[in-house]
């Protein structure tokens, strides 16, 4: 039996050069915390996206996400 796809995270921004590297910003729909994912070739990593004040960037979570 197939499991339901986990849709907790929402991709809000993506950029790259098409030659092996990509930067993507994801938002956790439950907490609103933003994450930065960077990959290059076969390597990659994800971290909390920080603002200029050094605190995590938090996006307000709409009520519509709670129904997902």
Q: Per-residue DSSP letters for 30-43?
A: TT-BEEEEEEETTE
Domain that holds residue 41: 12-55
Here the tokens at position 36 are 């930065």
Domain-embedded: residue 18: yes
User: For the chain, give me the number of helices (H) and strands (E)?
Assistant: 0, 4
Domain-embedded: residue 20: yes
Higher pLDDT, 28 or 2: 28
In whole angstroms, what is the distance from residue 17 CA to residue 30 CA?
31
Domain-embedded: residue 64: no
Number of domains in the chain: 1
> For 6-53, what is each residue's pLDDT tens digit?
688 999 999 988 777 899 999 999 999 999 999 988 899 999 999 999
Residue 67 has pLDDT above 90, yes or no: no
Domain-embedded: residue 38: yes
């Amino acid at each position: 039996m197939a499991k339901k796809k986990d849709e907790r995270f929402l991709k809000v921004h993506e950029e790259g050069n098409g030659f092996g590297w990509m930067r993507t910003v994801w938002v956790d729909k439950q907490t609103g915390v933003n994450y930065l994912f960077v990959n290059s070739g076969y390597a990659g990593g994800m971290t909390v996206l920080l603002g200029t004040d050094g605190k995590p960037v938090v996006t307000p979570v709409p009520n519509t996400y709670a129904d997902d």
